[in-house]
Amino acid sequence: MKKAILTCLTAAGLALGAGPALSAGKLSVYHWFEYIPQELLDKFAAEHDVEVTMDTYDSNEALLAALKGGKLGSYDVAVPGDYMVEILAKEGMLDTIAAGELANKGNILPQWADVSFDPGRMHSIPYQWGSTSFTVSRDAYQGDIRTTDMLFNPPAELSGKINVLDSQGELLALASIHLGIEQCSNDKEKLKQLNALVQGAKEHWASFISDGAKDVLVSGEAAVGMIWNGFSAKARGENAALEYSYPKEGYLVWMDNVVLLKDAPNRENALKFMDFLLEPENAAAVTNFAQYTAGVGGVDDLLDAELKASPELNPPADAPAGQFVQVCEEATQVLYDAIWTNLKK
């Protein structure tokens, strides 16, 4: 007879302690992972006597897919990036914030008060913004790094030690900037050029990693890595040889925005939450946590001194303005999809 080696463990540790005191209302947040300090959510919950629940996603596209897949109506607010605000609005997934509904709307900095992806800020408020470019390990390379050649036409000693983001929109937009062609072009010659550029550059690239973009640089696995500025600042904290570049050809900027979702179950609390995030003190708390930049005025004095002076957040004076990733028409987008599939086949 064989002895049974499997022991059944009865999970008896489910302590059914008293739940939290019943709150007057609820707020359901759909947010990026690791992008808001828990203390801030607790503070809002305490101030307004609201029970806050949060689910997270890891990409703008995942947010869209979830909302399309039937999650619309179960969340009050979400935090899409710039181009995704435009897409969600076109898909009819956003509610309109009427004039006067947000008491703190005036706190928004003038340059972000009216933006191309949400004219008049009808559906959204700024959360954080930053840039997308690349970071180079100064141990591996001492020359001039302020050029997109570092990614697309790298010096021989860096070939095979480059990581790029596994993100179609950002990579192809940065490649377009490198070539000096406009985004969402449907000009055949320009697209063939773009296709040839990324095909040729791929042999220099070691990997397409987004969530580990910081780790590959810190560990030295990559000597050059495409990355977001705040993520790069965190990387520099772990490896001092890393330097973020603002290339002369240009770079990408992005802004994450809090939007009011259509059919929000707790619309009132959603508006309260948006007002809460527009207060300089709370916006500063997010910035100190995420290390990007707030879109709200009066934040500067509340930031950590080190963060305020960080080279990642302060482009050199001669750096050009960054470009947002643009939303293409369907017929054009298909062409960019084909280039991307062709790149990764």
Partner 1 sequence: MAGPGNSRGFQGVFTPLRYWLLLPSWLVVGFFMVAPVLIMLVYSFLTKEFRGGVIWEFTLAAYDQFFLDRGLFGDEPPKIEWTYIGIFWRSVWQAGLATVLCLLIGFPTAYYIATRPPATRNIWVFLVTIPYWVNLLIRTVSMKFLIRDNGPINEWLLSAGLIAEPIHLINTPVAVQLGLFYSYLPFMVLPIYAAIERFDFSLCEAAADLYAGRWFALWHIIIPNVRPGIVAGCILVFIPSLGAFLAPDLLGGAKNFMIGSLIEEQFKGTAGNWPFGAAASMILLSVVLVVLFFNARNRATQTSGAGH
Which residue ranges make up the site for partner 1 (CB under 8 A)? 2-3, 5, 59, 61-62, 64-65, 68, 87, 91, 163, 166, 168-169, 188, 191-192, 195, 202, 205-209, 219-221, 330, 333-342, 344-345
Query: Smallest gap, in angstroms, from Cβ of residue 179 to partner 1?
Result: 16
Query: Smallest gap, in angstroms, from Cβ of residue 277 to partner 1?
Result: 27
Residues 6+ apart with CB under 8 A from 39: 285
- Burial pattern 18-53, b for ≥16 Cβ within 10 A else e, equals eeeeeeeeebbbbbbeebbeeebbebbbeebebbbe
Query: Smallest gap, in angstroms, from Cβ of residue 284 to partner 1?
Result: 33
Q: What does the block give as tokens for 184?
A: 């969402």
Query: Smallest gap, in angstroms, from Cβ of residue 64 to partner 1?
Result: 6
Rounded to the nearest angstrom, the gap between the alpha carbon of residue 159 and the centroid of all alpha carbons in its chain is 27
User: How far, in Å, CA of 226 to CA of 208, rounded?
Assistant: 9
Q: CB nearer to partner 1: give 74 or 332.
A: 332
Query: Smallest gap, in angstroms, from Cβ of residue 205 to partner 1?
Result: 7
Among 51, 54, 55, smallest CA distance to 26 is for: 51
Whether 82 contacts 255, CB under 8 Å: yes
Q: CB nearer to partner 1: give 53 or 341.
A: 341
Rounded to the nearest angstrom, the gap between the alpha carbon of residue 167 and the centroid of all alpha carbons in its chain is 11
Q: CB nearer to partner 1: give 301 or 330.
A: 330
Q: CB nearer to partner 1: give 6 or 22.
A: 6
How do strand 50-57 and strand 77-78 relate by DSSP bridges?
A: unpaired
Q: CB nearer to partner 1: give 97 or 261.
A: 261
User: How far, in Å, CA of 195 to CA of 343, rounded?
Assistant: 8
Whether 292 contacts 229, CB under 8 Å: yes
User: How far, in Å, CA of 278 to CA of 108, rounded?
Assistant: 7
Query: Smallest gap, in angstroms, from Cβ of residue 77 to partner 1?
Result: 21
Q: CB nearer to partner 1: give 44 or 141.
A: 141
Query: Smallest gap, in angstroms, from Cβ of residue 186 to partner 1?
Result: 9
Q: CB nearer to partner 1: give 2 or 20.
A: 2
Whether 191 contacts 206, CB under 8 Å: no
